[in-house]
Structure 1
Amino acid sequence: MAGHKIYRMSFASVYAHYITKAERKGRTRAEVDEIILWLTGYSADQFAAHLADKTDFETFFGQAPALHPARTEIKGLICGVRIEEITDPLMREIRYLDKLIDELAKGRPMAKILRTAPAA
């Protein structure tokens, strides 16, 4: 697990890319934040502290208060890899988030992204 460079990257540095991707498609930072808080269980203040501290991915997901149980419903390809086939637990969490941000950028409604609406 320690061999993956992304694990040691600052979550804040990648978060900026999530925001850019969403805003380029007419979505908002607030929606990106809602997705992250839903996925991790962090409060807005806890999340802000991790951004300010430049927490790495391993710590960010390792300290998440309550990874959302519905995240296992996130399926499909991300970066050419099927999420359901990722065996490394941390990489799977990172790819869940990547997939949710992709869904946001593609214009999917928040209720479906957050798995609160019946699948179409």
Structure 2
Amino acid sequence: MRRLAFMLDRLGDACFAVIAYLVGARASEILRLEEGCLERRPADGDGEEHVYLVGTITKTSRTEHGDIHRWLAPEPVQRAIVILERLSAPLRELSGEKNYGSTSSVGDDRHFRRRWPSRDCDHRW
């Protein structure tokens, strides 16, 4: 059972890395993503749709709650979000929280301070 928990944690870590790398969001922005954060919008009349990751940016915001921001979400990011939603569903239900970061090891910033060096003074690694 411990091995399974370890592997599920690494899967959550991989999802975090995919989102950070392909979208360019800060760690704090990723940790605040909430269930249902993918938004689909039709493209400019060509029949395609664009998928966006909807979250909050606080670094440049003039309010303490931040500003809504949309990042274009390529297919790997969409899959990572679906996986995070599935992994965190039981804990989100128990805790009543909607964001992914508060319900998994991804949300434990001590976990990232040990594993990844800081490159951006905004995040809490």
Asked if these proteins are the same fold (TM beyond 0.5), I'd say no
Higher strand share: 2
What TM-score results when the alignment is normalised by the length of structure 2? 0.28
Q: Which has the larger radius of gyration?
A: 2
Question: Greater share of helix residues, 1 or 2?
Answer: 1
